[in-house]
Structure 1
Amino acid sequence: MDDCCEREPLFTFGVIADIQHADIDDAFNFTQTRRRFYRNSLRLLKEARETWCQLPARPNFILQLGDIIDGFNKRHGASSVALDRVLEEFSLGSMEVHHVWGNHELYNFSRSELLCSRLNSSVLADGRCDGRRAGEDINAYSFTPFPGFTFVVLDAFDVSLLGVEEDSLRYHRALSLIKQHNSNDDLNCPPVQLDNLKQRFTKYNGGFSETQMDWLNDVLSSADKKQEKVSLISHLPVHPRSTVPSCLAWNFDELLSIIQCHSSVVCFIAGHDHDGGYYWDKSIGVHHLTLEAIIETPPGSNAFGTISVYEDRMVLKGNGRIPDIDLVFP
């Protein structure tokens, strides 16, 4: 790394993923292989918020990468209470927060409820000359925090079995798609196939609709012409080398095809895979960063980061489980 640490960044932002807060005792994950620290997640968020607030220059905004509360809240009738607790902690920092929707948001609330909730951050783009939205019922939008830099928040569950009525056309289209690849009675179990990438076809994943991808293509075409640098934000990763197959978006390949057609994209930031991951696609110069999860971070550690943006790179300063990474622009 060069002398960028001695330079003032153009702007900074915070990143945090998979908080999955619930007021319940610690327990193991779906496969009974990893411990989840449900109450501790709120303490770790508080530590992250306090760290961001104590920086010489507060981050311009925070990216909350999805799964803000756990699905267990729904079973206990505590979805709204749990969400209020987490959003209250965020609000104490007085920083703009962009909330990405993950599968646990859709376990707790319907898509229509989320669109009317404080987790619909697309309203932050309303009234901005630099903001563009994908559609009324799609939580995808773009914003420009600094001239020459655009962020695009994507809705990775635009095509999904979650958060929609089971008698809806949207549900049946998603069901038809997943059943082409997954014959298990429990669709939360990945299919056993020779092609490991087919493991992505589970109920806890989703995909991007044609409408959203057409919109994204238009946004990136505009950014190409303006020679902007674009970071894409999603709950689900889209590069097979930045995550495990069971955490990929259903149509990750279509999203990658769009990215490869646009010189403006420099980074793709995601959550969902609790172990995190990173891959630099040198062929097109795009960094794929998957953030480690708060929910599986034990007491005494943490999992959040602060990214400083310069003309030629972004520098991730990680905390706890998240390593420092230098994301050089092509």
Structure 2
Amino acid sequence: MYRREFIKIVIPIVAVGPHILLSYDQPILSYGVIADPQYADQDTRGTRFYRASLGKLQMAVDDLNKENLDFVVTLGDVIDKNLASFADILPIYKKLKAPHHLVLGNHDFDVADEDKDKVMDKLGMAKNYYSEVKSGWRFIYLDGTEVSLFRYAEGSENKKNAQIKLDELKEKKAPQAQAWNGGISDAQMKWFKQELKSAKAKNEKVVICNHWPVLPEGDVHNLWNAKELVSIIDPYDNVILYMNGHNHKGNYTTQNGTHYVNFKGMVETEKDTAYATVDCYADRVEIKGYGLEPDRIAK
């Protein structure tokens, strides 16, 4: 598998605490990123090569295992549909040498109503949103499925409330008013605010992981309450990266010093692939793309 030229994201130096030795030549930490394998045992539809994701993921795991990584994160949509799909793809993830973290995507819940409560257990997730601190960097894993039509069984109160939210967005003609998008609950938003406040007080740099993009505005793939989430992020100059999948074409933008990186979907290629490694330095972040993950330079 060939590696593309790396993205160089230059970030302002933010103190990370006296216990961290800052180096401009060695990364403080490194991790891998995979987005939207979206595996299912079904025929190709358009540019989505569902069965091929098993082979592409295996190649990605082989490459990532050659790197000295602190962890690997998948940005949602491990499967395309059917609970049985997890049995085929999850054993490949278990071959990773580094710990594997996940955020939930819409297709992860494209299972029978009676199976929806089994998804998190299949993925080995104890919590649907969470955070961790590594070497002065706080990683926040959000759950954009929490307010959605696809996560809950027909007739449930949660699904009825999500439909009300979607109808409100449609009345406002919001581009992201799509049934395949979702939103973050008030409780999770409150928790997120506290996480950013705590990270700032402790001089930690922040990386946010979610399945849905929130920028640029007007993208039909955006989180239902993207504008609110961005307004919470904007005041914090220590939020370095927001990473997501969902839009398989990929995207990139910046706002108020935060880099919003939409990684390409692995399912979208027949023979090639798309994934990345991220090296976090004292003064910059380098995202090294594999396969079709595009070259980007941000200064």
Q: TM-score over 0.5 for the alignment? A: yes
Does structure 2 retain, via aligned residues, the 8 Å contact 1:315–1:326? no
1:309 counterpart (252, 263, 280): 280
Q: Distance in 1 between matches of 2:120 and 2:202?
A: 31
Deviation by residue 1:138-193 (Cα, 9 ceiling, x = unmatched): x11001122x100000001111111213332221111111112438xxxxxxxxx8
Alignment of 1:71-220 (within 5 A): 71=81, 74=82, 79-80=83-84, 82-108=85-111, 111-120=116-125, 122=127, 139-146=128-135, 148-182=136-170, 198-220=174-196
Runs of 4+ that moved beyond 3 A: 324-328
Could you say which residue in structure 1 is the equivalent of 2:73?
63
Aligned pairs, number? 278
SS at match of 1:117: helix
Aligned to 1:27: 45
Contact 2:24/2:281 (8 A) holds in 1:
no
Q: Cα–Cα, structure 1 residues 9 and 121, in superposed 2: closer, same or farther, change >3 Å? A: farther
Q: What residue is the counterpart of 1:221 in the other structure? A: 197
Deviations 1:29-78 (A, max 9, x none): xxxxxx211111111111111111123x2x1111101111112xx2xxxx
Q: Return 83-92 or 107-116, whichever deviates more.
A: 107-116
Equivalent positions of 1:250-261 (< 5 A) are: 250-261=224-235
Aligned partner of residue 232 in structure 1, secondary structure = strand
- For the residues of structure 1 that align with 2:297 and 2:133, how far apart are their CA atoms? 22
| Equivalent AA in structure 1 for residue 202 of structure 2 | K
Match of 1:279 among 250, 253, 257: 253
Q: How much has 1:111 moved relative to structure 2? A: 4.8
Equivalents in 2 of 1:236, 1:308: separation in Å?
22
Map Cα deviations across residues 202-235 of structure 1 (whole Å, 9 max, x no partner): 1100001110000000111011111110111000
Separation (CA, whole Å) in 1 of partners of 2:214 and 2:38: 21
Shift of 1:318: 0.1
Alignment partner, residue 26 of structure 2: 8
Distance in structure 1 (CA, Å) of the matches to 2:249 and 2:296: 16
Q: 56, 64, 82: which one pairs with 1:44?
A: 56
Q: 1:144 to 1:18 in 2, by over 3 A?
A: same
1:118, distance to aligned residue in structure 2 (A): 2.6
Contact 1:61–1:96 (8 Å) recurs in 2: yes
Q: What CA distance in whole angstroms lies between the structure 2 residues aligned with 1:222 and 1:245?
A: 30
**Matches of 1:27 and 1:170, distance apart in 2:** 31
- Given the alignment of the two structures, is residue 270 of structure 1 paired with residue 249 of structure 2, yes or no? no
For 2:5, the equivalent position in structure 1 comes to none
Question: Which structure 1 residue ranges, 5 or more long, are not aligned?
Answer: 29-34, 123-138, 184-192
In structure 2, what is the Cα distance between the partners aligned to 1:121 and 1:44? 27
CA RMSD of aligned residues (A): 2.2
CA deviation after TM superposition for structure 1 residue 24, in Å: 2.1
Structure 1 Cα separation of the partners of residues 143 and 280 of structure 2: 24
Residues 121 and 309 of structure 1: CA distance in aligned 2, closer, same or farther (over 3 Å): farther
| 1:135 matched residue in structure 2 | none
Deviations 1:277-314 (A, max 9, x none): 00122xx2000000000111221x21000101111111
Cα deviation for residue 119 of structure 1 reads 4.2
Give secondary structure in 2 for the equivalent of 1:7: coil
Contact 1:280 1:287 in 2 (8 A): yes
SS of structure 2 residue aligned to 1:175: helix
Q: Is the 8 A contact 1:314 1:327 kept in 2?
A: no
CA contact (8 A) 2:237 2:258 kept: no
| Identity score, percent | 32
